[in-house]
Chain A
Amino acid sequence: MAADTQILIASDKDVVTARQQGRAVALQTGFSVSEATLIATAISELARNIVSYANQGRVTLKPLHGPNGASGLTIVASDSGPGIADVTLALRDGYSSSGGLGLGLPGVRRLMDEFDIVSSAGSGTTVTITKWLP
């Protein structure tokens, strides 16, 4: 079983590193180039959120090999930044607190099979996303 990869995120250069490593791990896990691009795009959005809102945090890549033969990749993006006061609002298409396109979080949810977010004001944010091999 492949080991987890952890990438510290503290600048926009780390966003590029995280998505490139994410793509490499996705390809190793058996995803197609197209699926690996979806995963890399999702990582790019989550890592940028860390830099924009929390200054720093980490992205962890966890290749999955389930007991029933299913394989996949889980990505955990976590920070101890200011957190999200209203998670429901942050997941709405077109909503942005940063003047962006407002497609970050809802877009990431569309790209992945599983999406989970834990956040509250003052205690940081952890987003966990998973894509399964078809």
Chain B
Amino acid sequence: MQVPILKQGGVLIATIQAALSDADLLELRTALVQQVVRYRSSGVIVDVTAMDVMDSFASRTLLEISHMIRLRGAPTVIVGIQPEVAFAMVQLGLTLEDIPTALDLEEGLAYLKQKARSIN
């Protein structure tokens, strides 16, 4: 299950559309980092609305994606974590640390726009 990555202006949007295996998650990580470099992206949004479960592997991979892309100078925002998924994550002890999160795609884009404005 490949995750489509859309380029909108300087932002890359990866929309997870179904349950992902560990291999799919690692593929997404590679693809996102490559495309951030190729397009000199200023920000990344990962939409996890369709994710059924966010376990320790998925959380760790999202953290890695965010850290790698931050080293390129671009922020990553995770959007669309479902309430029941958030509930399970907190019980499991997963916080996604310092990755910014937003309610949905629109809020995520607004966050990145604001962030870019505060830099310029």
Give A residues with C-beta under 8 Å from B. 12-13, 15-16, 19-20, 23, 33-34, 36-38, 40-41, 44-45, 48, 93, 100-101, 103-104, 106-108, 110-111
Q: Which residue of A is nearest B94, CB measured?
A: A103
Residues of the A chain whose Cβ atoms lie less than 8 Å from the Cβ of B22: 12, 15, 48
Judged by a CB distance under 8 angstroms, whether B120 is at the interface is no
Whether B56 and A107, one on each chain, are in contact in the complex, defined by CB atoms closer than 8 angstroms, is yes
Given A12-B22, A103-B92, A111-B88: A44 touches B60 (CB 8 Å cut-off) = no
Q: In the complex, which of the residues A20, A34, A45 contacts B56, with contact meaning CB atoms closer than 8 Å?
A: A45
C-alpha spacing A109/B22, complex, angstroms: 22
Whether A103 and B84, one on each chain, are in contact in the complex, defined by CB atoms closer than 8 angstroms, is no
Whether A16 and B19, one on each chain, are in contact in the complex, defined by CB atoms closer than 8 angstroms, is yes
C-alpha spacing A105/B18, complex, angstroms: 25
C-alpha spacing A34/B90, complex, angstroms: 12
C-alpha spacing A9/B92, complex, angstroms: 22
Give B residues with C-beta under 8 Å from A. 19-23, 52-57, 59-60, 82-85, 87-89, 91-94
| Chain A binding surface, main DSSP class | helix
C-alpha spacing A45/B88, complex, angstroms: 12
Least CB distance from A61 to B in Å reads 15
Given A34-B84, A107-B93, A111-B91: A44 touches B21 (CB 8 Å cut-off) = no
Whether A15 and B54, one on each chain, are in contact in the complex, defined by CB atoms closer than 8 angstroms, is no
Residues of the B chain whose Cβ atoms lie less than 8 Å from the Cβ of A40: 52-53, 88
Q: In the complex, which of the residues A12, A16, A33, A41 contacts B92, with contact meaning CB atoms closer than 8 Å?
A: A41
Whether B57 and A48, one on each chain, are in contact in the complex, defined by CB atoms closer than 8 angstroms, is yes
Least CB distance from A23 to B in Å reads 7
C-alpha spacing A93/B94, complex, angstroms: 11
Q: In the complex, which of the residues B56, B82, B83 contacts A103, with contact meaning CB atoms closer than 8 Å?
A: B56
Q: Which residue of A is nearest B59, CB measured?
A: A101
Residues of the A chain whose Cβ atoms lie less than 8 Å from the Cβ of B57: 44, 48, 100
Least CB distance from A82 to B in Å reads 20
